[in-house]
A and B are shown apart, each in its own frame.
Chain A
Amino acid sequence: MGTIKAWNFLRGYVIIRIEGLTLERFLNLAASNDIYLWDINRVDYTTLEMKVSIKGFRQLKEVVKKVGCRVELIEKKGFPFFIYELKQRKMLGLGFIVFFALIFYLSSLIWHIEVIGNETVATDEILETLEKENIKKGIIKYRVDKDYLENLLLKKYDIFSYLSVNIEGTKLTIEVKERDIPPELIDKDTPCNIVANKKGVIEKVIARNGRVAVKKGDVVQKGQVLITGIISDEYSDIQMYVHAEGEVLARTSYSYKVEEPIVKTVKVETGEVYKRYQLQIGEKGIQFIQGDIPFKDYVENVREIKIFNLDLKLPIKILVHEYKEVQSKKIEQDVEFIKKSNHIKAVEELNKQLPPSAKIESKDVNHYIKDNMVVTYVVIEVIEDIGEKQLLN
């Protein structure tokens, strides 16, 4: 049923109204002349309404002459008439074509370049490199040679261990994985010293090469030589330069101070929000003000309304100034609780500072109250390797 309708639509048909007295004869003649009529409807005694194909409508003329009735064309339907109409309205057709061409063209451009996973190499730097290869916003996406781009970036930045270039719609995504940088190694044959990289008390020195310059219990400052690569003989002036190597374990301390007021004022949002809109064109802006801000204490928050979810810088912006009403509240906290939370905070902070190989020896926590403040002082003593290689000059 549907296919027949679709076929009829494609071929085109007309709805006609026939007036006359011998309509049955008309129907019989049409049928015997092989003119296909469908959806015949009796409107009243002298009128019939029906559908007929374009070809059939031409053939009907003879039948009409024979029967002697009047034919009135009511409606033209179907694809051929649509095409005809389009021909009459060329600009409309042109508009259609331009519209589709524009959509196709715009969707084949790259509108956004995203770099994911880079930590040490700046995104701008990668984008700059791409720009040199003529890859930037607004180029046709079919021109991007992904393999070439991957090779180029991998070659340029040694730090990338993995790189993939993907185009999704109008977005170019560059996903990278950076490898962990190996520490700068000094060649084994180059003479060097081992110096302290921080202040500490020496616990143990194990020298695999070179001469130990400090002993247990020595307090060393940053930069002090711990194992020297210069070996001199007591009996001669000849100095030998070697590549010093070894571990220097020293006691070092890390401290952290946390302060927290006992009575503190907290700004609590009441939930009341007052909005002001601003239309910004270029540098200039117009603010739409309706009365004063009805709050005494408030926090201002400026937000941009993005009309399109695009990363494009449009010259026209709509800004919303949101004023949130706040109320200051004084809260008195429990001293014991503050002590505990300060302690936890300080230890967490210290843990970030500690090198992973450090061994914690002792922890000292001090609390004291000063001018409405609980001050917590945490000192952690650890034993760690403080040796660092330094070239001899």
Chain B
Amino acid sequence: MDNKVSNLKYNISEALELPKDLVLDLPKIVMIGNIQINISNHKGIIEYTKEVLRVNSTIGIIKISGTNMELKTILSEEIIVKGNIEKVEIIS
């Protein structure tokens, strides 16, 4: 059932060229080189240290590893991380 709905949503967004992060309620991860990463549509922070940042989302946990990481901004829909980013993992 759930799978069918999401399939339909995917097809519609594909047909109408709508942004999928909005239609499918997915997180949007934008990286600028290895110095900044923007995660929109997140579901809260699980862990934050200078080396590891884990963010909850609809597709699972997004784990970002690096050094000297700093949260530049936290808003209810967007997180901006600055620092030296080394790895981005999605653990579902």
Contact = CB atoms under 8 A, between A and B. Distances in A.
A287 interface: no
A40 B70 contact: yes
B75 A36 contact: yes
B73 A37 contact: yes
B53 to A, nearest CB: 10
B71 to A, nearest CB: 4
Interface residues of A, number: 17
Contact of B70 (A27, A28, A30, A39): A39
A36 B72 CA distance: 11
A42 B49 contact: yes
A46 to B, nearest CB: 11
The secondary-structure label for the interface of chain B is: strand
Contacts of B44: 24, 28, 31-32
Interface string B67-78: 000111111100
B47 A31 contact: no
A27 B47 contact: no
Contact of B47 (A24, A32, A36, A40): A24
B75 A31 contact: yes
Interface residues of B, number: 14
A24 B48 contact: yes
Contacts of A30: 74
A37 B70 contact: no
B9 interface: no
A23 interface: yes
Nearest to A45: B49
B35 to A, nearest CB: 14
Nearest to B47: A24
Contact of B45 (A27, A38, A39, A41): A27
A34 interface: yes
B29 to A, nearest CB: 17
A14 B19 CA distance: 38
A315 to B, nearest CB: 63
B46 interface: yes
Contacts of B72: 38-40
Interface string B47-60: 11110000000000
A28 B45 contact: yes
A31 B50 contact: no
Contacts of B45: 24, 27-28
A32 B76 contact: yes
Contacts of B50: 42
Contact of B46 (A24, A37, A45): A24
A188 B43 CA distance: 113
Contact of B74 (A37, A41, A42, A45): A37
B84 to A, nearest CB: 14
Given A27-B71, A38-B74, 13 more contacts: A24-B44, A24-B46, A28-B45, A31-B76, A32-B76, A36-B75, A37-B71, A38-B71, A40-B70, A40-B74, A41-B71, A42-B48, A50-B71
20 contacts: A24-B45, A24-B46, A24-B48, A27-B48, A28-B44, A28-B45, A31-B44, A31-B74, A31-B75, A32-B76, A34-B76, A36-B73, A36-B75, A37-B73, A37-B74, A38-B73, A38-B74, A40-B48, A40-B70, A42-B48
Interface of A: 23-24, 27-28, 30-32, 34, 36-42, 45, 50
User: A-B pairs with the 9 shortest C-beta distances?
Assistant: A40-B71, A28-B44, A24-B45, A31-B76, A31-B74, A42-B50, A38-B73, A27-B45, A37-B74
